[in-house]
Each structure stands twice: as C-alpha cells, then as structure tokens.
Amino acid sequence: MEKRVVFKHPVLPYLLLAPQIVITLVFFIWPAMQAMKQSLMVEDAFGLSSEFVWFDNFVVLFEDPLYLESLWITAVFSVSVAALALSGALYLAVQADRVINGALVYRTLLIWPYAIAPAVAGVLWLLLFNPTLGVLPYLMRGIGLDWNHHVNGDQAMALVVIAAAWKQLPYNFLFFLAGMQAIPRSLIEAAAIDGAGPMRRFWTVVFPLLTPTTFFLLVINVVYAFFDTFGIIHAVTSGGPAGATNILVYKVFNDGFIGLDLGGSAAQSVVLMGIVITLTVIQFRYIERKVHY
C-alpha cells in the first residue's frame, strides 16, 4: 500500500525540501567535492601554491607502510569495537528482557552512555585507566598486571576499544531489546515445551530471529568505529603510542591539520568516503533481502 500526497502548488514541495537540500549541499556535497579536488593536488611547503598531480597522492598513499599499518589498525579496531559492543549489548538485552520489576529503570540507565559526547567518554575512561591515578591500573597491579597505555600499544588499543564500545553499547542494546520483544512469546513457549533449555532456546530460536537486527547493527557499528570514534582517540591516545591507535580517520586529521599534507590527507578522505559508500550500499542492498528467514 502506497499513500501518495499530492501537492497542488508545484513549487511547495521544493520549498519544503530546500532546507535539507541546502544543508546537504553545503556540509556534505561541497566538502566532498573539495576533498576530491584536493586529493589530486600537491601544496608547496608554505601553502602558497598548489599543483595538479593526477593520482600521485593515492600512489604515494598505498606505498606508504604507515598508511597500510593504519589500515590494519583500523580493521582490528573496528572489528573489536563491533564485536564487543554487539556481544555486550546482546547479553544486556537478554538480561533486561527477563527483568520484570523495575525494567524501565534498567533500560533508562543502560541508554545513558549514548548521550555522552565521545571526547567526554574518552576522558572518563582515560581517568579510570590512568597509569598513575586510575583505579583500574591500581587493581590490576594487585594481580600482577602492569598497565601503562602510554607505552604499551596493545593496551592503548584495548583502552580505546573499550571506550568506543561502551559508548555504542546503548544503541545496540535498544535495537536488540526491541528485536527480542518483537519475538512472539509463544515461540519461546513452544520451544520450552519442545524441551529446549534457556541456552538452547536462545541459540536456536531467539538469535536466528535477531539476524536482521544483528546484521543491521554490524554495519552501523563498523561505520561508527570507522568515523565517529575520532573524539575518543583524540582524547585518549592521540593515535599513539607510536601510531598504535592511529586509525584512518585520525590519520586524516593528523596528516592534514598537524602534518599539513593537505593533498595526502584529502586522498585519505576520499578513500574513507569510498569505504563508507560501500558499507552503505551493502546495508541497503542486503538488509532488505538476504538476511530474512
């Protein structure tokens, strides 16, 4: 069933659309065009002139071992964030679905982290894990673990993964909870009568029925880890130590605004743009079709 609204006046629909179109043009399309143009240019050292160099920036980029390393770091980072945020949210959603008393309180509290700005979330975790002041490193020393993310690249990665996943958790949680509550009660009861215990019911009935939700969230989470985690990285590690948490989006900023390699940075932006376009296409194509029972 499609319901169509027909406007009598021919200009009115365009007027109504105009604000959104203007915003999209000014803040998305124009910068994107600029980035594409910039990615084909090289600035001189003083920023006084630029030269058109075709795809040289891209050639340099993919021959740069630091860029390839950043690509690998980004892959590790986003897979870890998505895995942690999804599994954590799923676990919490299962628990919250069972709670009868005060369910609303739990739900509300669990949603809060989503409202926190990335940089603030980063600072929060930074203080918790601060090697000299933090509570957690103190406790970890108790079990013989020496925590210092300023020195240890793996620990720095773990820290930003935790902070980023924590912030994305509420979003996933909401979707999983809604997905679970949309599963008819009688299905679970039928499975119980068929003799399936709670774990088996979850893995053979509930989880398969959540596949569309999971796939949707997976794409959203990867996009989040790729782009929206800039604030967390910037506040917690600034890409360090020694580039161990230098994910692509942070490298764009670092090379462009700190290193002032505008052309190279723009080329990186274009690559990132290509990635996000691919992910969006995947989301729209496959969510509608493939993951359906």
Partner 1 sequence: MAKVSLRSVRKSYGATKVIHGVDCEIADGEFLVVVGPSGCGKSTLLRMVAGLESITEGEIAIGERVVNALEPAERDIAMVFQNYALYPHMSVFDNMAYGLKIRRLSKDEIRRRVEEAAGILELGALLDRKPRQLSGGQRQRVAMGRAIVREPSVFLFDEPLSNLDAKLRVQMRVEIKRLQERLGITSLYVTHDQVEAMTLGHRLLVLSEGVVEQLGAPIELYEKPATRFVAGFIGSPSMNFLETKLTDDGRHVVLPGGDTLALDGAAAAANGTSPGRPVTLGIRPEHLEIVEESRASAHLTVELVEQLGADSLIHGRLGDESGPAMTVRLQGIHAPGSGESLPLLAMPAHIHLFDPESGVRV
**Interaction site with partner 1 (CB under 8 A):** 184, 186-187, 189-196, 200, 204-205, 208-209, 211, 293
Min dist. Cβ of residue 107 to partner 1 (A): 23
42 φ/ψ angles, rounded to the nearest 5 degrees: -125, 130
Nearer to partner 1, 99 or 291 (CB): 291
Min dist. Cβ of residue 192 to partner 1 (A): 5
The answer to whether 224 and 168 have CB atoms below 8 angstroms apart is: yes
Angle at 251 between CA 33 and CA 56, to 5 degrees: 55
232 φ/ψ angles, rounded to the nearest 5 degrees: -65, -50
Min dist. Cβ of residue 100 to partner 1 (A): 12
At residue 41, the 3 state secondary structure works out as strand
Nearer to partner 1, 104 or 193 (CB): 193
Nearer to partner 1, 9 or 185 (CB): 185
- DSSP result, 142-201: HTT----TTT-HHHHHHHHHHHHHHHHHHHHHHHHHHHHHTS-HHHHHHHHHTT--HHHH
Min dist. Cβ of residue 188 to partner 1 (A): 9
The answer to whether 26 and 247 have CB atoms below 8 angstroms apart is: no
